[in-house]
Amino acid sequence: MAHILVATTDDEPGVLNRVTSLVRRRAFNIHSLTVGPAETSGTSRMTMVVESDETGARRVAAHLEKLLNVLRVEILSERPSVVRYLALLRVSAPATTRGQVLLVGQAFRAQVVDVAEDSVVLECSGSAEKISALADALRPYGLMELSRTGALAMARGTLPTVVPLKRPEVDYPPLAMSV
């Protein structure tokens, strides 16, 4: 089963490698990984989809929390949450079929972000199933290119009150990169 883990980390070089190495060493497969700046300056938010049972997901979260640069870990698959994916799709759309391609995109609430002489690029966000269904619906017209993000997720409701951001009491020097 897929479990969604969200980790808030320091925004420093090498943190992503430490996190993915830890998960790999524990023999878990990261199905998708999305990383970007968080709401607090100097922090990043990692959203991971890990294939595991519930015990394994809790074990991964516990190990991640032990890493110095990991400030907080939440298992969002255990609580109500909003999960979205984003996709860009380039579809062959000569004048003869362009209207049909645009109607299919419109049915999935996809936005046209680029129009060329013989193709269009559509942007769509939603569940993984919605993105896959849109891609399948566009294949007969000539799906030329597909680019998808991993999961982006956030808990529903108010901010979690359980775990404040942890900060080390000692100022550690920035991580050195080995060559």
Domain limits, the chain: 2-79, 82-152
Asked if the model's pLDDT at residue 176 lies above 90, the reply is no
In this prediction, residues 10-35 reach a mean pLDDT of 92
Asked if the model's pLDDT at residue 19 lies above 50, the reply is yes
User: What's the pLDDT tens digit per position in 113-137?
Assistant: 999 999 999 999 999 999 999 999 9
CA distance 132 to 161: 35
User: What's the pLDDT tens digit per position in 134-163?
Assistant: 999 999 999 999 999 999 999 888 765 445
Question: Is there a shared CATH topology between the 2-79 domain and the 82-152 domain?
Answer: yes
Model pLDDT, residue 161: 41
% pLDDT > 90, the chain: 72
Full-prediction pTM beyond 0.75?
Answer: yes
CATH 3.30.1230.10 fits 2-79, yes or no: no
Angle at 170 between CA 48 and CA 40, to 5 degrees: 40
pLDDT confidence tier of residue 179, bands split at 50, 70 and 90: low
pLDDT confidence tier of residue 15, bands split at 50, 70 and 90: very high
CATH 3.30.70.1150 fits 82-152, yes or no: yes
DSSP 8-state class, residue 77: G
